[in-house]
A and B are shown apart, each in its own frame.
Chain A
Amino acid sequence: MGTVKRDIRIANKEKRKKVFAEMKHKLNKERHEMRRERAKEEAKNPELKEKRLAENVPDTIEAKRVYDETIAQEMEGEDEFKEYFEEGKPPKVLITTSKRARGQAYDFADLLYDIIPGSEFKKRVGDFTMTQIAKMCAERDYTDLVVINEDKKKVNGLTFIHLPEGPTMYFSVSSLKMPKEIKGHGRSTTHIPELILNNFSTRLGKTVGRLFQSMFPQQPEFVGRQVVTLHNQRDWIFFRRHRYVFKNEERVGLQELGPQFTLRLRRLQRGIRGEVEWEHRSAMDKDKKKFHL
């Protein structure tokens, strides 16, 4: 967008606003006209468009990312998700909440129960610690335990414990938007969704991606046309759920099913809440171009 020079020295505010709006409108009009003409020229000669796009690569923080040697390297050896990826063990997930949870936690649990196929919800009763619950779940052949953390009636965290040998991941939850708050949202079906994992590229990112992947059955039901997306951008993981429809051979329509929320990895621990493998520190946010996932 063109910038408007601030050389309007009109004392009357209403008049000044009007003049300013006229100037801005004129600039917009010029810009649109320029774009229309350029589009016409580029339609005649597609090489021009290619040249323009090649020259005008925008500078983004992602493009300026600090070199991370772990991205280029392949994953070595085995990890705790071997049973799911190599032996095809189906996931069995238990969802529960933090102690004495109220309000939104149960609505969110309902949503997670809907999102993760074949999951079960158990209300947190008794005075069991998370380690004890994880042990009990492992004995009952669960593969994952999800604990929703609630504070002041708001969901603010999610803990994923892969069973029986870990790892444990704690994510903070922000920008939670329930489906009813999303305009034009659809209703989900019980079909197994497809999963899209974007930009989990570092060694740590691969572990996080594999955890999410291991919670969904390996064969999605394409009839349902439902997609769960976990998009990582600058270490923020955006959760979205859509239904798609092929309008014709080129166009695809999307309908959001919700919920929307954003996750941020705070801690990765070995085993069931064991030694820390990685922990977010506030000093890590100092370098805006260094990403960990």
Chain B
Amino acid sequence: MKIFLAAEDTGAIKEVVFDEGMDTSVQDGPQPLITSFAALGKLKHIQKLALVTTSKGTKYIAAARKNGTIEVYPYLLTEESTPIFVYSAEGAEKCPWIGLTQYDDNTVVAGLEDGRLFFLDVSKVTIESDKPYDAPTASVKGPLACFALDRELYPGKIAVGGKERDLEVFGWAVKGDEVTVRSEFQARNVKSNEIDMRVPVWISGILFQASDKDGFRVITATRHGQIRVYETWHGKRPKWDFKVTKDPLRTLAPGMDASNVVSSDAHSSTFKFNFADNEKIVLKNKDNNQNKEHNRKSPCVVEKFPGSLGAVLHLVTTDNGLLATVGLDRYLRIFDLETTECTAKMFVGTQVSSLLFVDTERKTAQEKHVEETAEKEDDELWNDLDKVEKKSNKRRVAGNDEGKKKLKSA
């Protein structure tokens, strides 16, 4: 498995090659291969990482740095690797990047906190070109904290949100150097609370989900500890609003199925949240170790992913049931989404702001066993060969001796 990390303390891209079951806190255990590239220092550290695949199949790594630049690196990084393209957004030095993601074969969308969205065409960018590249830019009302795109579910749509900036979904289209943005859904805040106080808004994570009706189904996480589900055909207010924790939520990612999401807070908790109402769940009784079926009545936090000592700044889930988390405790952790078991834990040396899970291939226990036995057989074969060689030498010597004796007797 392979992951790229954005190291905050060094400003580098770190490549981590590892296997499931690795744990750097085991002294004699197998260790991951960690390599650093493009270290430009903490002041220019990478805030967001994205993988870009062009229509020709070429892969690149896009990195949004703190100094307001977006750099595109070749996928196969070496120590001498330099960016093949650098795009500097005007006045972005003091404004953090809120997101960086590939939309289609050539387009990368980057967003700044002040509400500016850049649509970079990777096929047009080369560092050699004399003409400065003007990326098509759209501007929406800020300040933003996050944005979300989903090419497969809702092509041409982008959802944004931030501090006192409730969820808004835009439709966008790029024509030449211009981007047109049109608002398609503007959420309304939830009703005031029991003492008639306005509930504050601070969206920190957005996730599109598939819907069978005409409209959007969007899930948001907030820095006030709520997870909200919006169905645009239902109304402008969220259909469900759950107070999950008292701590600010930082991240949001899809879970195993549509009824699950994974989120983490600014403390050290990472958890799985389930929306399904009246769902039957099976829990193991610790006393007698027997499974018992429970009828869970309301959506809630189902399970926690244990181990993290500090806030998780970025988490990614994969289609094959893995969760990767990085954050302030300087560890990269891999979990099994279903069992919440930590399958790999690696100390990476620096705090990490973003990660890119590029090789998610999982080896099953059976495959591992087959590999191990094949290796063992190979080793045995080689050892046997050595023995045969040694034996044959002896025979030759013996034969020679016998021959000599025969010669002598003759």
Contacts from A to B (Cβ < 8 Å): 66-70, 73, 76-79, 82, 203, 270, 274-279
Contact = CB atoms under 8 A, between A and B. Distances in A.
Contacts of A67: 25-27
A202 B170 CA distance: 48
A79 B25 CA distance: 24
A276 B268 contact: yes
Interface in B35-51: 39, 41-42
B39 A77 contact: yes
Contact of A275 (B10, B328, B349): B328
Contact of B11 (A69, A77, A203, A276): A77
B227 interface: no
B7 interface: yes
A87 to B, nearest CB: 13
B10 A276 contact: no
A276 B347 contact: no
Nearest to A290: B25
Interface of B: 7-12, 24-27, 39, 41-42, 250, 266-268, 309-311, 313, 328-330, 347, 349-351
Contacts of A277: 310-311, 328-329, 351
A73 B42 contact: no
A279 B309 contact: yes
A256 to B, nearest CB: 36
A179 to B, nearest CB: 37
A276 B41 CA distance: 23
B39 A279 contact: no
22 contacts: A67-B25, A67-B27, A69-B25, A70-B347, A73-B349, A76-B9, A77-B9, A77-B12, A77-B41, A77-B350, A78-B10, A78-B41, A79-B42, A275-B266, A275-B267, A275-B311, A276-B267, A277-B328, A277-B351, A278-B309, A278-B310, A279-B268
B349 A276 contact: no
Contact of B42 (A70, A77, A275, A279): A77
B311 A276 contact: yes
Contacts, number: 66
A79 B45 CA distance: 12
Contacts of B26: 67
Nearest to B26: A67
B328 A276 contact: yes
Contacts of A278: 309-310, 328-329
A184 B181 CA distance: 78
Given A276-B310, A277-B310, 15 more contacts: A67-B27, A69-B27, A69-B347, A70-B330, A73-B347, A73-B349, A77-B7, A77-B12, A77-B41, A77-B42, A78-B42, A82-B42, A275-B328, A279-B268, A279-B310
A277 B351 CA distance: 9
A75 to B, nearest CB: 8
A77 B12 CA distance: 9
Nearest to A279: B268
B10 A69 contact: no
Contacts of B267: 275-276, 279
Contacts of A76: 7, 9-10, 349-350
A75 B163 CA distance: 35
Contacts of A78: 9-10, 41-42
Given A68-B25, A275-B250, A275-B310, A77 B10 contact: yes
Nearest to B267: A276
A274 B309 CA distance: 15
B310 to A, nearest CB: 4
Among A66, A78, A279, chain B packs the most CB atoms within 10 A around the CB of A78
A8 to B, nearest CB: 48
B328 A69 contact: no
A205 to B, nearest CB: 13
Contacts of B12: 77
A69 B330 CA distance: 12
A69 B8 CA distance: 20
A203 B351 CA distance: 11
Contacts of A270: 311, 328
B266 A276 contact: yes
